[in-house]
Amino acid sequence: MLITKMLRQVVGQMLGSPACGCWTAAPPLRFLGTSPRQIPADTNFHSASFSGTDQPRVLITGGLGQLGVGLANLLRKRFGKDNVILSDIRKPPDHIFHSGPFIYSDILDYKNLREIVVNNRITWLFNYSALLSAVGEANVSLARAVNITGLHNVLDVAAEHSLRLFVPSTIGAFGPTSPRNPTPDLCVQRPRTIYGVSKVHAELMGEYYHYRYGLDFRCLRYPGIISADSQPGGGTTDYAVQIFHDALKNGKFECNLKPSTRLPMMYIDDCLRATLEVMEAPAESLSIRTYNVNAMSFTPEDLAQEVLKHIPEFQITYNVDSVRQAIADSWPMNFDDSNARKDWGWKHEFDLPELVTTMLNFHGSDTRVAHAN
């Protein structure tokens, strides 16, 4: 009898009354009790920590990878240099250190993360820290720690301090049993990499915190991202960045995926603009909290054909990496991003021809400078 009564009380407290699509705000369970994360039980997780007219105060974690510096540049143009703090566990090169606020932040250290958020009055957090698909398979325990335990810290800090939280997901959150051509937002997700598993976990945990505690969680599933001025951090789609360096430097490229491997891809400018747009979208326009975003889809063969139009002597050869190939074969070939286009007006600007011209122009000018020196 007593147990039944207690259970009824607990379930009653958990369910609350559904209002505006989310349950009554209640502190995440790990905040209760005597843990160092204890916060007052009457904390209101729905309270906005900045007024609508203020600029957001932004923290980017894992910001020294392929995407973070570009994101910081974009956000600094929009919100002011000093309102955007880039962070990582690595030492920044001089030009990045001098381009705006930089701070050490390890997402595995909850106290360090909380201190940064409090001391800098952070209101928006972009969690870019992660181990990507190929490096994740080479170090599963570290990938599990950073991508899952680290994510828990980020979610708790964000919920505790009413932050707007962006966590990127990926085409890698799908697996061999997902529909691959095209892959919709909602379908079977049984990835076979630790990276994919951790990203499905992030999507589900973020959405759970949104519905359970009112956390303003926003997530985009990025395709493979192609950037000119930053290097990829160990993924399956990295070939589509490396090809441009090698084509201009040596006139040839050895590809680690089969010629017919079709994957969704996006130029970095589109990716970062999508990220800012979804963060600025009115909450009521978001019918879901995790969206596919897409731009183009191509194979190594298609990409090589396009490069050949600019460098007629270019040669591509293939030396397949079995780990990366198995991963790529389990990922979407085409991404259905109709919900993002419908809900918040997503529209990509770069297709394959523009991508190739932009990448070759960027590296071409670099190569010419290097040869001249």
Ligand X SMILES: CC(=O)[C@H](N)C(=O)O
Ligand Y SMILES: NC(=O)C1=CN([C@@H]2O[C@H](COP(=O)(O)OP(=O)(O)OC[C@H]3O[C@@H](n4cnc5c(N)ncnc54)[C@H](O)[C@@H]3O)[C@@H](O)[C@H]2O)C=CC1
Instruction: Note the residues at the interface with ligand X (CB under 6 A).
Output: 132-133, 170-172, 195, 224, 235-237
Pairing between strand 124-127 and 216-222? unpaired
Q: Which is nearer to ligand Y, 72 or 286 (CB)?
A: 72
Query: In the chain, what is the straight-line distance between the N-terminal and C-terminal CA atoms, in Å?
Result: 84
Q: Which is nearer to ligand X, 83 or 147 (CB)?
A: 147
Question: What x-and-dash track marks residues 141-180 binding ligand Y by CB under 6 A?
Answer: -----x---x-----------------x-x----------
- The dihedral through the CA atoms of 51, 55, 61, 66 has a sign that is positive
Binding to ligand Y by residue 129, rule CB under 6 A?
yes
- In angstroms, what is the minimal distance from the CB of 3 to ligand X? 46
**302-306 long-range contacts, Cβ below 8 Å, gap at least 24?**
302/352, 303/240, 303/243, 303/352, 303/356, 304/243, 304/253, 304/255, 304/259, 306/352, 306/353, 306/356
Binding to ligand Y by residue 196, rule CB under 6 A?
no
236, interface contact from ligand X, ligand Y, none, CB < 5-8 Å by kind = ligand X
Main-chain phi, psi angles of 345, to 5 degrees: 75, 30
Instruction: Count the Cβ atoms, other than its own, within 10 Å of residue 42.
Output: 7
- The dihedral through the CA atoms of 72, 78, 81, 82 has a sign that is negative
Determine contact, residues 242/253, Cβ cutoff 8 Å. yes
Binding to ligand Y by residue 290, rule CB under 6 A?
no
Indicate if 195 belongs to the active site.
Answer: yes
Determine contact, residues 61/129, Cβ cutoff 8 Å. yes
Instruction: Count the Cβ atoms, other than its own, within 10 Å of residue 27.
Output: 20
162, interface contact from ligand Y, ligand X, none, CB < 5-8 Å by kind = none
128, interface contact from ligand X, ligand Y, none, CB < 5-8 Å by kind = ligand Y
Calpha distance 238→257 (Å, rounded)? 10
Exactly one of 104, 110, 128, 195 is catalytic; name it.
Answer: 195
Q: Which is nearer to ligand Y, 308 or 323 (CB)?
A: 323
Residue 148 per-residue DSSP state: I
Main-chain phi, psi angles of 321, to 5 degrees: -90, 115
Instruction: Count the Cβ atoms, other than its own, within 10 Å of residue 142.
Output: 14
113, interface contact from ligand X, ligand Y, none, CB < 5-8 Å by kind = none
133, interface contact from ligand Y, ligand X, none, CB < 5-8 Å by kind = ligand X
- In angstroms, what is the minimal distance from the CB of 10 to ligand Y? 34
Binding to ligand Y by residue 276, rule CB under 6 A?
no
Using the rule CB under 6 A, give the single segment among 37-45, 178-186, 233-241, 322-330 that binds ligand Y.
Answer: 233-241
Binding to ligand Y by residue 96, rule CB under 6 A?
no
Q: Which is nearer to ligand X, 192 or 310 (CB)?
A: 192
Summarize as ranges the residues that interact with ligand Y (CB under 6 A). 61-62, 64-68, 88-90, 105-108, 128-130, 132, 146, 150, 168, 170, 222, 224-225, 232-233, 235, 237
What are the catalytic residues? 195
